[in-house]
Structure 1
Amino acid sequence: MPSPPRIPRRLAFLPFRGSRAVAEGLITWAMLRGPAWHRLLPDVYVHREGYRVDDHRMWCDAVALLLPPEAAIAGPSAAYLWGVDLLRRDAPVSVLLPRTARLRTHARVQVTRSALPRSDRTRFGGLPVTTALRTAFDLGRQGSREEATIAVDALLHRRVVKLPALRAYADAHPRWPGLPLLRQVLALAEPLSESPMETRLRLLLLDAGLPPATAQHDVLDARGRFVGRVDLAWPGLRVAVEYDGDHHRERVHFRQDVARLNALRAAGWLVLRFTADDVLRRPAQTVDMVAAALRERRDEWNTTHVNSPR
């Protein structure tokens, strides 16, 4: 039985330019047409062992091979490379091209043409990418206010961008499209938000007219000992709101959450917990519950202070 053909190490896992590999004698065109290789883009191939149809990094590696020198991976794809995953599984790779640059169209590539000075480009993980600051600037000007705020919050939380620097960058580019949206986002941005759903929940409550909450508040007991950290808090009223993601359903997390919730209640806190369904499918009921809790605690506070001896 013949042994399988040896795969050159350089071609084993990462995408590569077929024409270059053939010119270097690493492979033949006949081999590339065989079942061991996937053609990702024109002249870009990957071995079947490295092929994952929904692996965005693989697609970024492939697209980068075709980019002109002055172009860069950008937008949600750049955010992904900076450690912020806002992508659906089949999302195309977003790239920024100067207006004079050329790139063949492809379903897996989403091209935006824009000025892209050298100062807004860098290399990260071996790939040409917009700087984290330029990435936040671009994403904060796109889509809905909620989507833009989620993206900026996530990049700020990742600590690859700082809010003062993003504000200064926006001030330095006052005529760019989408600046009114970005200014709204900058007024709402919260670097302490730990997930897109936390940002959505926070915006939902703000848009309903509820007072701003403190994000990631540390709760202490009467002796000053740490009890727990809550997602959103109104410390003066001892009301907290938390978003429960799927990981909270795991047994270890569940037990920890029960103990933590009991400790918060013992410290005098009223804690409301919400899921994605509450935020996305029952927003009015969610707002009503939080508003009622705040009213209840405010009435208790007023009653206690009015009736307390002087």
Structure 2
Amino acid sequence: MSLRWLPADLLTGPFTLDVARGAGVPQWRLRDAALHIPTRSVRSAAPVEDVFARATAFRAALPDDIAFSHVTAAQLWGLALPDVVAAQTELDVLRVTHRNRIRRTGCNGHRGLEARGTAIRLGLPLTGLVDTWVDLGEVLDRGLFRDDLVVVGDEVATRLAGPPDPGSDLPDWSIGPVLLRQALSRRVRPRGGVVLGSALELVRAPVRSPMETRARLMFVRAGFPEPMVNRDVHGRDGQWLLEGDLVWEAQRVVGEYQGRDHASIRQRSYDADRRAVADDEDWTVLEIYAADVYQPGRRIACLRRFARALDLDPAGLEIR
């Protein structure tokens, strides 16, 4: 159906019924079946399908004193969530404690905005990165586990790196975990606090992908010495060789997670050349794939392969 009757400035995004009437649109037109109804008192010329479109549509009908929080904030920040959580369609909306919770179909109302930092992203008010991470501890019942909090914590800590120290061109990776710890300590008896505290002990930076985190946790859980993350690897003469995803420096072993970006012939040729150069310098570079983390048989084989490279006794490890 055509919406040519709709004023041009209402074609570009969601709008409230009051705004439409103020623009001269008659009430009967607002019942046109071609209009989408994302929430009560809001219409849109275009379908409202992703979290940004839904949040933008609901924002038009919500009070000014709100911020999107919890899972919705994590989605809008682009943080890596498990599929079951990332697919959530209801919006988490936060207000200050002395105001009533938002009660609207399609929203989960929360209070406590005064205790969170906020930011504007994509034109929408959100809780800040560190407070969003802490708030995820309140929604563990939606399908989040400790490892998921570590994954998100690694990503947040990496994003919040501080400026380089004098004489260095590398960011200060220690800042992010400190900010997360400060945010958690500011909360009084937070829901999920025990799990958050346990996850925080495992947060590291810098981390380039969620699967790097999950691979590292696989080794830690099995009792391996914890590898350093995304560290430069050098030859005997100090020459830079490569940046390793997981690095056991003392044993000169590197674990490289092979994601989709490593699938091309060109990239695999580059990776093979790096491994050959590292091998010449007595470094062992072993590949890790998603199946090595998620499939029990592949995981056991991967852990045994790394145990041999690290000269570890499998009997003293939790290889399963």
CA displacement at 1:202 relative to structure 2:
0.8
Residues 216-271 of structure 1, C-alpha deviations (whole Å, 9 max, x = no match): 01112233222111100101111111211112112332222222222222222111
CA displacement at 1:29 relative to structure 2:
4.0
Letter in 2 for 1:156: A
The residue that corresponds to 2:256 in the other structure is 242
CA displacement at 1:35 relative to structure 2:
5.1
1:20 aligns to 2:19 (yes or no): yes
Tell whether the 8 Å contact from 1:140 to 1:151 is kept in structure 2 after alignment: no
Q: What's the TM-score, normalizing by structure 2?
A: 0.80
The residue that corresponds to 1:217 in the other structure is 231
Q: Alpha carbon RMSD of aligned pairs, Å?
A: 2.6
The residue that corresponds to 2:275 in the other structure is 261
The residue that corresponds to 1:79 in the other structure is 74
1:148 aligns to 2:149 (yes or no): yes
Give the whole-Å Cα distance in 2 for the aligned partners of 1:23 and 1:33: 16
Q: How does 1:1-310 map to 2 (within 5 A)?
A: 5=4, 7-25=6-24, 27-34=25-32, 36-48=34-46, 51=47, 53=49, 55-86=50-81, 88=83, 90-92=87-89, 93-98=91-96, 100-106=99-105, 108-109=106-107, 111-117=108-114, 120-140=117-137, 142=140, 143-159=144-160, 162-282=176-296, 283-295=299-311
Tell whether the 8 Å contact from 2:116 to 2:131 is kept in structure 1 after alignment: no
CA displacement at 1:32 relative to structure 2:
3.8
Give the whole-Å Cα distance in 2 for the aligned partners of 1:210 and 1:117: 42
Letter in 1 for 2:247: A
Number of aligned residues: 289
Task: Identify if the C-alpha distance between structure 1 residues 182 and 4 changes in structure 2 by more than 3 Å, giving closer, same or farther.
Answer: closer
Give the whole-Å Cα distance in 1 for the aligned partners of 2:309 and 2:77: 38
Task: Identify if the C-alpha distance between structure 1 residues 140 and 270 changes in structure 2 by more than 3 Å, giving closer, same or farther.
Answer: farther
Give the whole-Å Cα distance in 2 for the aligned partners of 1:249 and 1:289: 22
Tell whether the 8 Å contact from 1:239 to 1:271 is kept in structure 2 after alignment: yes
My pick for the range that moved more, 202-211 or 142-151, is: 142-151
Task: Identify if the C-alpha distance between structure 1 residues 252 and 105 changes in structure 2 by more than 3 Å, giving closer, same or farther.
Answer: farther
- Segments of structure 1 that go 5 or more residues without pairing to the other structure are 298-310
Identity over the aligned pairs, expressed in percent?
28
Tell whether the 8 Å contact from 2:101 to 2:109 is kept in structure 1 after alignment: no
Tell whether the 8 Å contact from 1:139 to 1:152 is kept in structure 2 after alignment: no
The residue that corresponds to 1:308 in the other structure is none
Q: What's the TM-score, normalizing by structure 1?
A: 0.82
CA displacement at 1:7 relative to structure 2:
4.7
Q: What is the DSSP-based 3-state SS (H/G/I as helix, E as strand, rest coil) of the residue aligned with 1:188?
A: coil
